[in-house]
Amino acid sequence: MGPDALVQLSIQLEVHSTHTTRQNQEEKDAFCALRPSRDNMDLMCAKPNELATLILLALLLLCYGVGNVRCATVHENRRDLQALLDFKQGIIDPKGALSTWNTSIHFCRWSGVNYSVTPPWRVTVLNLTSKGLSGQISSSLGNLT
């Protein structure tokens, strides 16, 4: 390979390298957020994986919040709440299976309590199998849906 061939090869590599660098910069710019850095007021870029992770996290938080809103709007069902509290009062719970059953959290978040997914969000299932519970079952459970 002579000197002329090396010059041509070098020029071709530089052109290809410049094109690739420009294309990489354009791809990088697609994922950049306008956030000034402390050192220099230019762009700080998020990697595609980081961006996808942030979007997924935002969606999960949104879904969790919607579930809490739905649960918090169950204000008509005081009868369900009272029935569950009456049931708990008559039960011996040596393993603490019903420890979440208190008024500090809404009853739709209590362990073993399932409720309908459409309004008026009434209790539909109590799943208390293998919890080691004993005692008398309150007649107020008849007030549940």
pLDDT of residue 11: 46
pLDDT of residue 10: 46
The more confident residue out of 35 and 141 is: 141
- Residues 110-121 have pLDDT tens digits of 999 988 877 777
pLDDT of residue 51: 75
pLDDT of residue 31: 47
- DSSP string for the chain: --HHHHHHHHHHHHHHHHHHHHHHHHHHHHTEEEEE-SSSSSEEE--HHHHHHHHHHHHHHHHHHHHHHHHHT--S-HHHHHHHHHHHHTEE-TT-TTTT-STTS-GGGSTTEEE-SSTT--EEEE--TTS--EEPPPGGGGG--
pLDDT of residue 127: 92
**pLDDT band of 128, cuts 50, 70, 90:** very high
Provide the β-strand partners of residue 134: 92
The more confident residue out of 122 and 13 is: 122
Contacts of 81 (CB under 8 A, 6+ apart): 103, 107
In the predicted structure, residue 34 carries a pLDDT above the cut 50: no
pLDDT of residue 17: 47
**pLDDT band of 143, cuts 50, 70, 90:** confident
- Residues 72-124 have pLDDT tens digits of 444 557 888 899 999 999 999 999 999 999 988 888 889 999 888 777 778 88
Which amino acid, one-letter code, is at 35?
R
